[in-house]
Amino acid sequence: MAELLRLDGASKLFGSLVVIDDLSMHLDEGEALGVIGPNGAGKTTLFNLISGGLKPNAGTVRFGGRDITAVSPHRRCKMGIGRSYQIPHPFEGMTVFENLLVGACFGTDRAEKQCYEPCAQILEQTGLIAKANRLAGSLTLLERKRLELARALASGPRVLLLDEIAGGLTEAECSELVETIREIRTTGMSIIWIEHIVHALVSVVDRLMVINFGRLIEDGDPHAVMKSPMVQEIYMGISAE
């Protein structure tokens, strides 16, 4: 499979605090990669480096064979990096449908009229069609999470970055959302998914990465990674002894 995304020796410092420490990783076209790690491990910062919200202090980010380290976030979106935020950032004064239109119009550089049909289809796919004309500010948490996902999809991504999209949901809501993500996966969409709800994650992803203190700890088959003593100790808080 062709390589889609690669980070080489990426580091990010906030003042003297090292958040991402010489981290290298890659993602193949069509692959689903899960990312886990304790709070403050640097997972969201990793997403910001990929989506362009933050620039690394060292190292490079490559996407589709191009060095995009210096490329701005909106250009990266047009290139095919779509992201959802951990804390939903809906455009509250716009309708759900208009929220998607923003992604579709600007993420794919199409005229507005050409975006209507694809946006309506994504609303169907993500179970939001009945809420299409509701203001995004009036949505429930599950709907806001779905909107994050739908809006990122509307921007026509080649890779979808999902940041704790199932966080804060009930068990039932979580499995509903996992079902939607699984459907999206059937279209061959590449994803990187940060999640604390490990069983949801492991049921979808092809590969699992563990980071701690901004460093890559483990990387490989999800089930093998979860069983590794280092993960049990660091992530699950179970002593290796």
Which residues contact another protein (rule: CB under 8 A)?
A: 51-53, 72-74, 77-78, 82-83, 85, 89-95, 97-99, 101-103, 105-109, 111-112, 116-117, 119-120, 123-124, 129-134, 151-152, 154-155
Least Cβ distance, residue 113 to another protein (angstroms)? 8
Least Cβ distance, residue 123 to another protein (angstroms)? 8
Least Cβ distance, residue 16 to another protein (angstroms)? 24
Toward another protein, which CB reaches closer, 67 or 124? 124
Cβ contact 99:136 at 8 Å: yes
Element (H, E) at 84: strand 81-84
Picking from 65, 66, 45, the residue whose alpha carbon sits closest to that of residue 55 is 45
Cβ contact 30:187 at 8 Å: no
Toward another protein, which CB reaches closer, 83 or 208? 83
| Phi, psi angle pair for 174, to nearest 5° | -60, -45
Toward another protein, which CB reaches closer, 19 or 77? 77
Toward another protein, which CB reaches closer, 14 or 116? 116
Which residues have a Cβ under 8 Å from the Cβ of 207 and sit 6 or more positions away? 31, 32, 33, 34, 219, 220, 221, 222
